[in-house]
Structure 1
């Protein structure tokens, strides 16, 4: 049973049955963002175990951006998993494993799923993510020791006996090895079965030329059989000692190394093809005309007589696009190609499979403004793309790619039948951002407004935040995150009253934006690291309590203030402002149009304002009427001014008799006036 004791049966996908709970709270929907890593609380008796916390979260939200990591719980809510459709990880994970296996089964070229540079390209990268070391150091995906017929993970350094063998499993082909050992090994190549997804048929000797350079063996391989990927298995036995991606079907390239005498092995790697020096990353370009025999590899003979000397990649995978210098810490990404119809269809089927496995209703795509533009590729030289008639690192290519991405996401929706395809745009106004085409905006159903509202955001931002109501006019839904960033709790982090007042003000601000059945409320701290773990000294005045539990003002949300209502008679309406370098349009928040853009009326009005000479005063108290309540917020134009927090309380009249909703859910005494400090908001319940 839910808190309300009601559940509504429904079906999001034709292949997934789920049960969605009734709205938890009376006046708005609520949601979580990337829950997970649940912990047993340390300083509260409210919960005994991590599962108790998880159960509480499942009962106190309507939607989830992410996953509850439990299929049954996901199906009870509207759970939108995480997706990043424009990238695949350099070090393969579950999506790459599934896609590579099914591309093999369908007779498709997996490499076509990536974008490639058509010419050697130098990218500016003032810093490099640790995740890129996988490629810069030529790391193997997995290394297995075979000793006396037993398989074990090889952990270097390793003392090898004469009959020992090392199986080098790689997520990409290579013809150059770097070995740090007493002597150079013999090398054998894995030859795939007629159905490579079934594994390999045999090992075939490879001629290798070795040179000793600075204590390491550099080996150049000459294979007799074209490079071909396969599943990591032989004679029905998995060549796998714990790598989940291999069990998930990742297609790999394998070499077997053995030494004729005892040898200590310190390093086994591939010679890197990427060059990072002086804050510049050079990625080689690929030109198929250089591969005269079309075997997928540019041999030495072909390389030194190649037609296109501006493209120096030996294998096509070496030319994949990497947004160097613009990736999250610890990550490494390749940009996905959306121009291949058959692979797009397979890619969309991956999401259908994945969502079904997890019990998800859809997913939200992150970083949709980070595609092929300068915010991802700072090109010094080169940059020409193989799959697009453009270069990376400019607005034109980013816009072109965004339209391709929109078509792909439309295909995902067709495959999954979801109405819960979401995107994280933070406070980005899509009507002001040229890099986001209308096609991309139209394909999204739900928007994550990360850190959209903050206690000290000020009036100027409120005047400009009409885009939430424009998205609602399109029929879209939004999760509006309220954070305590720059609030009182940031000035006095150990003061309980400061935290509670920030959250109370945040809820009042959210109620200014609440649109029934279309917006969802989420309260968070000042950081961008989400989860369901316990608080620490940086994000709450007390350590060891569940974050979502303390940030969500559940007791206040349980108070029914009804639905948004019209502006009370006799009160001036607040204006919206749509100001860019080219236009400056204003309109009352009670209207349905802002210029030529349709909006849902917000019906904000003034309880107090400093003068009537301008439609946008520098100080005032904005309010919004509800059928059973009222919400108010006092601010100045300027945001995040600590001095304004210390200003004297301002007493303003209310349009009737109200009782203040306290942080613990109790109601204050009936009143017709309220006193508000600087950057302070309040939720009020109408006296019946």
Structure 2
């Protein structure tokens, strides 16, 4: 076929598919967490941030996240980002909204958090910097009032006798630490009927100087208030306070000029190193038992503490017992576990999503990290672990299953409250039928599954043949985003090679086409990292491990989506050609051919994978093999070794595989090779082929 005919053919097919409302002819595509756009510097097709954003909006059928533009979100299917099973240790806008509406409805916002019933010690394999907020007793906000003007207090600073510092804490406390040459007078706030600051009351404080700092024990309790006094907001931009988070406020003033280096709450948490090994560290969390607070004022005073009914619970305030996972977390994170056992908070929580999705123009949302619940990957319990709100012990499979079931019920409430049928969950490569912590009802509430880093160039045959659950989810009527990653590919061996990156992305699309189900799957291509966004690529010869493309300056989604390759129409998946043997699915308990519709009692959509080549016919998974899938206008195939990530398999000799008809290889730039009845395939390589039309032979 001439180059002219190739271009005309591809163009007509693309236009035809666009008429059906789909961006590309043979599959739908998606973005994940767009944002942080930058002006391109390495391409001529897109020159401005506006052009990049418009290109992204035009080149995906759905968005997992947000286009961060209400109008653009409303023109597509945008599933915003949610994480229903955590609330941040440092309060954010969401918590401000939740607390405000809890108070408005006469509910205690503390019921939205889970708490340890007994003192609990957890191991800390890697300390997250986000924990410093609690470990250092940091405030939500410190304000300096000078000449009746408010500004954020930036320490160290000098405070004069007519000036004041307003200290906002996210939780109740009894000990404050002042790094100053003299201690101040301390006033606590009185709350009025609107929840605002109604006035100040001088507190009874016992001051002790130690190591150049003043430690103040506040011998009284006070209630949280809105950050407002006489209609004026005592806030310089804190989103949680602005949204209605009630904080515990104290006012500090000095009788004479003072140098103040810092103010913090004396922390009740600490990390203890048990040896020189990084992983050998622990945290002790005090437990909260309501029986230890007989007057029900939310504080266990000294007399109550000595007479505790439950001596294994040492928290003075309920807040101190909030459940915090200490397993390997995101860098900079610190999270509380959400309580799904309180109906009033659940409805309040669901109402937040209804409000938030509407203002952003979102169709629904996807929930991240579905495997980080209550098992040992988040809670390695040394002792304790009993949960106040549930009959479970953290760090057990029972706890994870119980919590997942409650979370499923909550997600169902979110759907009924918002009216959305686009609720998604990130389960990565985990199998819902074979992962013991996930209850059956989770499969019934989620509409779309995000399979993060699901396919990689060196995935190998054994793993591919265990991925039957993708077709089981489809049989339920669910949709899936199938993400391909360059992790383990040629580009990690040769990070500055254009060919290596293109080979990895090409093989990724070929692998995806093995899983493509029309109207039920979305394709997304990404690099080796878990950091998403729309910023530009970077390449650094001095830091090859941080190189994410062969050159700097291309918008990431532009770089990783092979749009010219996707524009070639290979039709839709079809049945196995005559004379070829079906590949087998392998589960933990059985096996079945990929053209079957049942795996034991689990319904499947037929995948119709078949062997084009394999070494030996006795094992279900050969040492070397080529898996293929027929399309109405094409053929896709992948050659792998039995096991994944064997770098030496990239070096094996290519093999010549005969084809069942006349095909043209689709090149990365969308052009077509010469018609052929065989194809050369290297180790860990995917190939996409276009069927030669009869009239053009």
TM bracket, shorter-chain basis: over 0.9
Please name the residue that 1:238 is paired with.
233
Q: Write the distance in 1 (CA, Å) between the matches of 2:393 and 2:493.
A: 47
- The CA deviation at 1:477 is 0.6
- Flag the 1:502–1:126 CA change in 2: closer, same or farther, 3 A: closer
Residue pairs, 1:71-90, within 5 angstroms: 71-90=70-89
Please name the residue that 2:218 is paired with.
221
Please name the residue that 2:249 is paired with.
254
Aligned residue for 2:462, secondary structure, equals helix
Aligned residue for 2:204, secondary structure, equals strand
Q: Write the distance in 1 (CA, Å) between the matches of 2:152 and 2:92.
A: 19
Residue pairs, 1:52-451, within 5 angstroms: 52-196=51-195, 199-223=196-220, 226-278=221-273, 279-451=281-453
- The CA deviation at 1:6 is 9.8
- The CA deviation at 1:157 is 0.9
Unaligned runs of 5+ in 2: 1-13, 274-280, 540-546
Please name the residue that 2:685 is paired with.
680
Q: Write the distance in 2 (CA, Å) between the matches of 1:668 and 1:234.
A: 74
Please name the residue that 2:608 is paired with.
603
Contact 2:187 2:200 in 1 (8 A): yes
> Please, which of 575, 581, 585 is the counterpart of residue 576 of structure 1?
585
1:558 counterpart = 2:555:
no
1:296-325, Cα deviation, whole Å (9 max, x unpaired):
112222223333222111111111001124
Q: Write the distance in 2 (CA, Å) between the matches of 1:126 and 1:592.
A: 44
> Please, which of 540, 547, 554 is the counterpart of residue 556 of structure 2?
547
- TM-score normalised to the size of structure 1? 0.95
- The CA deviation at 1:275 is 2.8
Contact 2:96 2:239 in 1 (8 A): no
Please name the residue that 1:48 is paired with.
47
Aligned residue for 1:280, secondary structure, equals strand
Q: Write the distance in 2 (CA, Å) between the matches of 1:151 and 1:547.
A: 42
- The CA deviation at 1:150 is 1.1
- Flag the 1:463–1:325 CA change in 2: closer, same or farther, 3 A: closer
> Please, which of 454, 457, 467 is the counterpart of residue 456 of structure 2?
454
- The CA deviation at 1:426 is 1.0
- TM-score normalised to the size of structure 2? 0.93
In the comparison of the two structures, how many residue pairs are matched?
666
Q: Write the distance in 2 (CA, Å) between the matches of 1:390 and 1:620.
A: 47
Contact 2:18 2:25 in 1 (8 A): no
- The CA deviation at 1:642 is 2.5
1:149-177, Cα deviation, whole Å (9 max, x unpaired):
11111111111101111101111111111
Contact 1:327 1:333 in 2 (8 A): no
Please name the residue that 2:599 is paired with.
594
Q: Write the distance in 2 (CA, Å) between the matches of 1:588 and 1:394.
A: 36
Q: Write the distance in 1 (CA, Å) between the matches of 2:308 and 2:490.
A: 65
- The CA deviation at 1:501 is 1.5
Aligned residue for 2:552, secondary structure, equals coil
Computed over aligned residues only, the root mean square deviation of the Cα atoms, in angstroms, reads: 1.6
1:535-579, Cα deviation, whole Å (9 max, x unpaired):
11111111111111111110111111111111111222111111x
Contact 2:17 2:23 in 1 (8 A): no
Contact 2:18 2:24 in 1 (8 A): no
Please name the residue that 2:7 is paired with.
none
Q: Write the distance in 1 (CA, Å) between the matches of 2:609 and 2:197.
A: 68
Higher deviation after alignment, 288-297 or 92-101: 288-297
Please name the residue that 2:542 is paired with.
none
Aligned residue for 2:177, secondary structure, equals strand
Please name the residue that 1:16 is paired with.
none
Contact 1:27 1:560 in 2 (8 A): yes
Aligned residue for 1:464, secondary structure, equals coil
- The CA deviation at 1:7 is 9.2
Q: Write the distance in 2 (CA, Å) between the matches of 1:408 and 1:550.
A: 38
Q: Write the distance in 1 (CA, Å) between the matches of 2:15 and 2:586.
A: 40
Q: Write the distance in 1 (CA, Å) between the matches of 2:486 and 2:137.
A: 44
- The CA deviation at 1:418 is 1.1
1:648 counterpart = 2:653:
yes
Please name the residue that 1:467 is paired with.
469
Q: Write the distance in 2 (CA, Å) between the matches of 1:58 and 1:5.
A: 19
Contact 1:479 1:519 in 2 (8 A): yes
Contact 1:363 1:420 in 2 (8 A): yes
Please name the residue that 2:519 is paired with.
517
Q: Write the distance in 1 (CA, Å) between the matches of 2:533 and 2:658.
A: 41
Contact 1:227 1:296 in 2 (8 A): no
1:507 counterpart = 2:506:
no
Please name the residue that 1:535 is paired with.
537
- The CA deviation at 1:293 is 2.2
Unaligned runs of 5+ in 1: 9-20
